[in-house]
Copies of this chain bind each other. A is one copy, B any other.
């Protein structure tokens, strides 16, 4: 283990290598070191078992909260649910303390994203003593699931994540410009519909009318508010066709970005000639396309 750790830091594409080791400091050995390996790392047997069981514990606790909100079930299994809820909370509390205790820099962990998530994942149950409605906040726990992406040997998945993220980030500006334009359109159209349809047809205020035009442009169309006048129908038809065309824009932006990345991957996965430097040879290619020289064996 230690050998592996003392090895040069691997590529960012290797999630198995726990970044916490550097961030929070891996204790020098002994029981705390063992604990750290189990809790924060997943390349040992024990680490995997811990992470997977934690994953199921989180999902289970979330399910308990969700089912607990179902009236019919809540009545019958009220005791069971709160019992489960408490046991999960205690479990997570123990885990939280364990995490704090086994890292070199507890403060840094406590202030880290997951540190805060872990804390607010257990707080609600305790606070629910005084403010029962806080019970539902327990679903924040779900955010902990993000952590367990690491377990499932998600090297590639992390990579995909970054790919998706990068594509979206690259389209960031285009999308922002787009959103602004849409926002202006939506408010203007909403105002028009408010004037045309008026309060008696459900468009009780401009904010409601804007909500309606968002519902319509995004093709959600709840149908809780619908135009009733002929002019309203006409405008609504235009909004729908407009939204239809507009829907194509973000798709186009993201797709163009992704396609271009995909292409570059394709190209960069091809081989080049050592003699004339011509790139883009098929993987099975044996001779350069331009100078006929033999290609390096891949």
**A residues near B, CB below 8 A?**
62, 65-67, 69-71, 133, 136, 139-140, 142-143, 145-146, 149, 156-157, 160-161, 163-164, 167-168, 173-180, 182, 184, 187-188, 191, 194-195, 199, 204-208, 210-211, 214-216, 218-224, 226, 230, 233-234, 236-237, 240-241, 243-245, 247-264, 266, 277-292, 294-295, 297-298
A292 smallest CB distance to B (angstroms) = 4
When C-beta atoms are compared, the residue in chain B nearest to A287 turns out to be B292
What are 22 A-B residue pairs whose CB atoms fall within 8 Å in the complex?
A66-B207, A69-B194, A71-B205, A136-B195, A140-B188, A156-B173, A157-B176, A164-B174, A164-B178, A179-B241, A215-B240, A220-B220, A222-B223, A224-B226, A245-B250, A248-B251, A252-B257, A255-B255, A256-B261, A285-B289, A287-B287, A287-B292
Set of chain B residues within 8 Å of A298, measured between Cβ atoms = 277
Set of chain B residues within 8 Å of A243, measured between Cβ atoms = 218, 220
Set of chain B residues within 8 Å of A251, measured between Cβ atoms = 247-248, 251-252, 254-255
- How far apart sit A208 and B255, CA to CA, in the bound complex (Å)? 33
A175 smallest CB distance to B (angstroms) = 7
Set of chain B residues within 8 Å of A249, measured between Cβ atoms = 164, 168, 254
- What 10 pairs across the A-B complex have the smallest Cβ distances? A220-B221, A285-B289, A287-B292, A256-B258, A223-B223, A222-B223, A252-B254, A252-B255, A224-B226, A69-B206
Asked whether, in the complex, the Cβ of A70 is within 8 Å of the Cβ of B205, the reply is yes
When C-beta atoms are compared, the residue in chain B nearest to A233 turns out to be B211
Interface centre among A66, A176, A194 (most CB of B within 10 A): A66
- Given A255-B248, A258-B256, A226–B220 Cβ distance below 8 Å? no
- Given A243-B218, A258-B253, A65–B206 Cβ distance below 8 Å? yes
- How far apart sit A281 and B281, CA to CA, in the bound complex (Å)? 9
